[in-house]
A and B are shown apart, each in its own frame.
Chain A
Amino acid sequence: DAGVTQSPTHLIKTRGQQVTLRCSPISGHKSVSWYQQVLGQGPQFIFQYYEKEERGRGNFPDRFSARQFPNYSSELNVNALLLGDSALYLCATGRGTSVADTQYFGPGTRLTVL
């Protein structure tokens, strides 16, 4: 089976712009979580979606939004980009919503905001 895929791999934007990141889960996985990993830090939880519904949200501003599609893929949108949004954005997928379930991470999208 293919692993979790994310696109694009790299992205450069300027302040104030909007960005959309995409994630395709492993076949059979219905849960998608998004994490932000700033350089030198551990990943921080942004959202979890399951069966197209938001199941959890981290401490991020409303500029961050996400959605999940019927095929369980997901998009993360960030509006009005700030320099501080520069980070590696990771998608993790799993079979269910329990945090005990193993989450499988994609390679990430490296976002640079200039």
Chain B
Amino acid sequence: AQSVTQLDSQVPVFEEAPVELRCNYSSSVSVYLFWYVQYPNQGLQLLLKYLSGSTLVKGINGFEAEFNKSQTSFHLRKPSVHISDTAEYFCAVSDTDKLIFGTGTRLQVFP
């Protein structure tokens, strides 16, 4: 079965600084990869997904992620964060008919 590891439970960063949220998954077989964001007291919103093709995926709100098959990683990046990016971020991998989520990374943006 697939598993997802988000190594950083919390990432504090100042506004306008770059950020990278790390995600590693367990299997090298073909998978689909996703990043979701969860704002307080809300459901999850899809930021971006990798299905095939270009390894650099661009998403909403200026986020992008790079699929690295050899490293089994799918790290999320943003060149300049805003206060409004403060939220919980979840990486997910496909496993047959379902998504397997990581434990989440809390991104805290300070002014």
Contacts and interface: CB of A to CB of B under 8 A. Distances in A.
Interface size class of A (residues with CB under 8 A): 20 to 34
Contact of A40 (B32, B49, B96, B103): B103
Interface string A81-113: 000000000101000010110111111100000
Contacts of A108: 42-43
B101 A99 contact: no
> Dominant SS at the A interface?
loop
A105 B98 contact: no
Interface size class of B (residues with CB under 8 A): 20 to 34
Interface string B31-63: 010001000011111100101000000000000
Given A56-B97, A105-B45, 5 more contacts: A58-B98, A90-B43, A99-B94, A99-B96, A100-B51
Closest 5 CB pairs of A and B: A42-B101, A105-B43, A56-B97, A45-B98, A105-B44
Interface of B: 4, 32, 36, 41-46, 49, 51, 90, 92, 94-104
14 contacts: A40-B103, A42-B104, A43-B44, A43-B99, A44-B101, A45-B99, A99-B32, A99-B97, A99-B98, A100-B51, A106-B43, A107-B41, A107-B42, A108-B43
